[in-house]
Amino acid sequence: MHQMALVALLLAGCDFKVFDCVDFGGGCEPPALTLSSRWTADNRNADGVAIDGAYLLSVAGGYGEVALGGADHVRVESIDDATGTAVITLRGRSVGDDHLGIRRDESTAVHWIEVRALERVDLMPREMAFAELDEPPPHAVLAGSDTQLVVRLFSADGERLVDHRLTVEADGGQLTPTDWDAFRIDSETAVTVDVMAADRAYGFTVPVVTDIQDIVPVSGGRVSDIRALTPGSRAQVCFAGVLAGLQVAGLDWEIKGEGVSIPNNASLAAGGCAYVDRPQDGQVLTVRAGSLERTFTLATAP
């Protein structure tokens, strides 16, 4: 059977109407809506928005004005539809989960959003995020490096939150925002950073150093202990350049050895991390960071 495309024209004087659905046998449906929100700079999913924090939701596709329902724990501050892709600005109002219904004419979509109280804020160099350690280590920034620092927001349960309107300012040095939650610091000395998130102020001191004293292995989370590797598997190993108990961000790294490859996670640099395929007991890795070079001997678990 041949498929047919039918287009109906209703003529009334000089006026006419075109039914814009051309059915090739699959039926006619309203245009789909695509919903998106801004990720965190360290490539982590956010679980929700902080109370008093802002959440920006983009709506692409469909026709006409955007309407929103189901906002019980967030309030709609604005809907900007000037460019065709609408941006809805929501503000966290109270703890709870909302099932938002988005409508554009006959096109619909749903979006779940959690609202949680902001409990903790920390700073972490973006390059250290690849290791996914259980807790961010005390750190410093290498002077003159192109290091980004990420502001991380957490609920009491450790859920990652957003406030797309957070602000950062520096007392000393030059601060350059690179994303809604990330920035660079250009300074030769320690910098005081003030963060305003969810209408609350937080202060941090970021040490700035010019060198490192040593290179050490780190482990935890997804990072394997180089003294207890599983033979025949693929291990992620990580190293840190340290000075006075601080892990230093902004170093140039080189890791060499049999079966070594440098991981790639989109735009997230691996820092001092590498994969080792089928690690062997007694295998040696050569690690260079900044002006230092060290060798490390791997050991497999019994």
Average pLDDT, the chain: 87
Domain assignment present for residue 13? The answer is no
Domain assignment present for residue 14? The answer is no
- Residues 192, 137 share a domain: yes
pLDDT in tens, 68-77: 999 999 999 9
Domain assignment present for residue 6? The answer is no
**Cα 290–Cα 291–Cα 292 angle in degrees, nearest 5:** 95
Domain assignment present for residue 105? The answer is yes
DSSP assignment of 2-43, as one string?
A: -------EEEETTEEEE-----SSS---PPPPEEEEPPPTTS
- Residues 94, 63 share a domain: yes
Q: What pLDDT score was predicted for residue 109?
A: 95
Q: What pLDDT score was predicted for residue 265?
A: 67
Residue 115: partners with Cβ closer than 8 Å, 6 or more residues away = 48, 49, 50, 51, 73, 74, 92, 93, 94, 95, 96, 97, 98
18, 152, 210, 231 from 149: Cα distances, Å: 54, 10, 17, 36
- Domain extent for 112: 32-116
Domain assignment present for residue 69? The answer is yes
- Residues 289, 220 share a domain: yes
- Residues 276, 232 share a domain: yes
pLDDT band of residue 23 (cuts 50, 70, 90) is: very low
From 180, 209, 238, give the residue that closes a domain. Answer: 209
In this model, does residue 17 exceed pLDDT 60?
Answer: no
Give the residue, 111 or 6, on which the prediction is more confident: 111
Q: What are phi and psi of 68, to 5 degrees?
A: -135, 135
- Residues 135, 110 share a domain: no
User: Is 223 in a helix, a strand, or coil?
Assistant: strand
**Tell me, what CATH number does 64's domain have?**
2.60.40.10
- Residues 174, 198 share a domain: yes
| H or E element, residue 97 | strand 96-104
CA neighbor of 40 nearest in space, from 49, 32, 31: 49
How far is Cα 137 from Cα 131, in angstroms, rounded to an integer? 11
Strand partners, 277: 234
**Tell me, what CATH number does 202's domain have?**
2.60.40.3440
Q: What are phi and psi of 172, to 5 degrees?
A: 100, 135
**Tell me, what CATH number does 252's domain have?**
2.60.40
Domain assignment present for residue 247? The answer is yes
Q: What are phi and psi of 76, to 5 degrees?
A: -85, 115
Query: What is the greatest pairwise CA distance in the chain?
Result: 89
- Residues 163, 128 share a domain: yes
- Residues 199, 226 share a domain: no
Sign, CA dihedral 44-46-158-118, equals positive
Q: What pLDDT score was predicted for residue 149?
A: 94
The residue-averaged pLDDT of 206-235 equals 93
pLDDT band of residue 286 (cuts 50, 70, 90) is: very high
Percent of the chain with pLDDT over 90: 71
In this model, does residue 25 exceed pLDDT 70?
Answer: no
The residue-averaged pLDDT of 87-100 equals 97
How far is Cα 178 from Cα 41, in angstroms, rounded to an integer? 9
In this model, does residue 2 exceed pLDDT 90?
Answer: no
- Residues 138, 102 share a domain: no
Q: What pLDDT score was predicted for residue 266?
A: 61
How far is Cα 241 from Cα 115, in angstroms, rounded to an integer? 38
Domain assignment present for residue 18? The answer is no
Q: What pLDDT score was predicted for residue 5?
A: 35
pLDDT in tens, 121-153: 999 999 888 777 767 789 999 999 989 999 999
Domain assignment present for residue 17? The answer is no
From 191, 209, 227, give the residue that closes a domain. Answer: 209
pLDDT band of residue 275 (cuts 50, 70, 90) is: very high
Strand partners, 22: none
- Structural domain count, the chain: 3
Residue 15: partners with Cβ closer than 8 Å, 6 or more residues away = none
From 91, 116, 141, give the residue that closes a domain. Answer: 116
Residue 17: partners with Cβ closer than 8 Å, 6 or more residues away = 9, 10
Percent of the chain with pLDDT over 70: 89
What are 178's two structure tokens?
A: 């690179």
pTM (two decimals): 0.84
pLDDT band of residue 18 (cuts 50, 70, 90) is: very low
- Residues 230, 167 share a domain: no
- Residues 199, 176 share a domain: yes
How far is Cα 222 from Cα 236, in angstroms, rounded to an integer? 7
- Residues 112, 137 share a domain: no
- According to DSSP, the β-strands at 160-162 and 48-50 are parallel
